[in-house]
C-alpha cells in the first residue's frame, strides 16, 4: 500500500510518500510545496495543483493529512484551514480516501509521546524509515502523518465503518476510543 502524507500550511505544505509492505515501511519521497507571497487564491491554487500533481505522479492508494489545531490567532487558524481544504480537495478529486490525524496522534504513533517536539519527530522519522539524511520539519511531519496512518489506518477504517452501528446503540468514537 502506498500512502501520501500531507502537513498543510499556507506558506509551506509538507508531503511524504511511503509504502507499507506488511509491517515494513519504505520511504519513497518527501519535500515541501512553497507558495510564496502571492494572493490567497493564488497560493491556494498552488497547493491544490501541487497536491494533484503528487497524486498523479506517485499514485498513492490512501492519503493522510494532519488536522488543524486551534491557534492563538484565529486568522492564522482560518488561513491554515483554507490551505488544508485545498489539499483535501486535490486528494479527493484524485480519487483518494482521506484520513485525518491530530498532531498528538501523529506524535504518539511516531515518537510514542503525544507531546513530543518537532525535532523528536524528525529524528524518529529518520530512524523508522532508515533515511540517510534528516528531512525538514514540514516533510518530517508529513512522513509522520503517513507513518501514523500506516500503523493505525486499518483500525481507524474499521472504527469509521462501524460508527453508524455504534451511534445507534448510543456509543461513539472519541479520540480513537469508544465512549458511551
DSSP structural state of residue 3: E
72 has a pLDDT exceeding 60: yes
Separation of alpha carbons 31 and 131, rounded Å:
14
The annotation status of 141 as a binding-site residue, yes or no, is no
Element (H, E) at 24: strand 24-34
CB 40 within 8 A of CB 25: no
157 has a pLDDT exceeding 70: no
C-alpha cell at 31: 519535500
Stretch 20-48: mean pLDDT, rounded? 97
What structural domains and CATH numbers belong to the chain? 2-179 (3.30.420.10)
The Cβ of residue 39 has, within 10 Å, a number of other Cβ atoms equal to 8
Stretch 145-174: mean pLDDT, rounded? 72
The annotation status of 7 as a binding-site residue, yes or no, is yes
For 95-115, the pLDDT digits (tens) are: 999 999 999 999 999 999 999
pTM, whole model, 2 decimals?
Answer: 0.85
Angle CA(74)–CA(98)–CA(45) in degrees, nearest 5?
Answer: 60
CB 68 within 8 A of CB 176: no
CB 140 within 8 A of CB 128: no
Report the catalytic residues.
Answer: 7, 66, 138
Stretch 117-139: mean pLDDT, rounded? 96
Amino acid at each position: 500500500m502506498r500512502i501520501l502524507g500531507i502537513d498543510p500550511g499556507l506558506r509551506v505544505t509538507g508531503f511524504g510518500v511511503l509504502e507499507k509492505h506488511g509491517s515494513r515501511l519504505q520511504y519513497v519521497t518527501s519535500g515541501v510545496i512553497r507558495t510564496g507571497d502571492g494572493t490567497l487564491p493564488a497560493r491556494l491554487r498552488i497547493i491544490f495543483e501541487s497536491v494533484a500533481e503528487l497524486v498523479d505522479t506517485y499514485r498513492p492508494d490512501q492519503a493522510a493529512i494532519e488536522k488543524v489545531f486551534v491557534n492563538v490567532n484565529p486568522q492564522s487558524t482560518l488561513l491554515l484551514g483554507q490551505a488544508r481544504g485545498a489539499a483535501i480537495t486535490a486528494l479527493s478529486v484524485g480519487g483518494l480516501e482521506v484520513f485525518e490525524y491530530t498532531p498528538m496522534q501523529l506524535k504518539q504513533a511516531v515518537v510514542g509521546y503525544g507531546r513530543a517536539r518537532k525535532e523528536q519527530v524528525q529524528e524518529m522519522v529518520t530512524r523508522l524509515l532508515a533515511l540517510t539524511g534528516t528531512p525538514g520539519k514540514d516533510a518530517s511531519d508529513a512522513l509522520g502523518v503517513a507513518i501514523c496512518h500506516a500503523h493505525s489506518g486499518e483500525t481507524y477504517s474499521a472504527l469509521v465503518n462501524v460508527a453508524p452501528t455504534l451511534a445507534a446503540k448510543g456509543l461513539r468514537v472519541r479520540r480513537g476510543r469508544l465512549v458511551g
